[in-house]
């Protein structure tokens, strides 16, 4: 990945979330909650993913530090795995989609790719659970 593309990942995924929290934090009540989004590449890397893995690791570190700095406001992160979304579907033909998601399902202990609802339930849990902070929650179907 060239430097401009890597910087773009940091600008959008890391700095975007950083600035959102920075500007929202003063407006949050003491019972507030923040959920950031990381990605599985930081802990389950693949060849050719150094920049996305570094961004995900930075978001996870930010989560843990902010959970201390903003306490009692709770700060957590969700790390989605292979989620069946329109973004994936836009990259593949109908036949490729079917084959791709069938293969993903076979490779995951959960037996299927994740859905947006799976991720939403995790976010809801983190927003509602008053005793969870500094956590990075994998929503990945058991991806190894």
Averages of pLDDT over each 10 residues, the chain, 144 residues: 93 97 97 96 88 96 98 98 87 88 92 96 98 97 88
Query: What local confidence, expressed as pLDDT, does residue 91 receive?
Result: 86
- Residues with a known catalytic role: 38
> Considering the domain boundaries, does residue 93 fall inside one?
yes
> Considering the domain boundaries, does residue 128 fall inside one?
yes
Query: What local confidence, expressed as pLDDT, does residue 18 receive?
Result: 98
> Considering the domain boundaries, does residue 144 fall inside one?
no
The total number of structural domains in the chain stands at 1
Query: What local confidence, expressed as pLDDT, does residue 37 receive?
Result: 98
> Considering the domain boundaries, does residue 122 fall inside one?
yes
Query: What local confidence, expressed as pLDDT, does residue 65 receive?
Result: 98
Domain span holding position 11: 3-139
As a whole number of angstroms, the distance between CA 3 and CA 6 comes to 5
CB neighbourhood size of 47 (10 A): 5
> Considering the domain boundaries, does residue 71 fall inside one?
yes
Residue 114 to residues 55, 94, 102, 117, 118: CA-CA distances in angstroms? 22, 18, 12, 8, 6
Strand runs labelled E in the chain: 33-37, 74-80, 136-139
> Considering the domain boundaries, does residue 14 fall inside one?
yes
Q: Give the alpha-carbon dihedral of 20, 23, 29, 32, to 10 degrees.
A: 10
Query: What local confidence, expressed as pLDDT, does residue 7 receive?
Result: 96
The CATH code of the domain that includes 122 is 3.40.50.720
């Amino acid at each position: 990945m060239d430097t401009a593309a890597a910087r773009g990942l940091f600008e959008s995924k890391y700095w975007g979330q950083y600035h959102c929290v920075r500007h929202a934090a003063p407006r949050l009540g003491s019972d507030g909650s923040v959920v950031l989004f990381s990605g599985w590449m930081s802990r389950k890397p693949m060849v050719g993913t150094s920049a996305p893995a570094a961004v995900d690791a930075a978001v996870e570190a930010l989560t843990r530090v902010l959970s201390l700095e903003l306490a009692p406001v709770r700060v957590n992160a969700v790390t989605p795995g292979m989620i069946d979304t329109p973004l994936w579907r836009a990259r593949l033909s109908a036949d490729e989609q079917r084959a791709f998601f069938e293969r993903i399902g076979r490779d995951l202990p959960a037996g299927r790719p994740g859905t947006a609802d799976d991720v939403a339930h995790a976010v809801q849990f983190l927003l509602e659970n008053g005793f969870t902070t500094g956590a990075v929650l994998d929503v990945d179907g058991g991806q190894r």
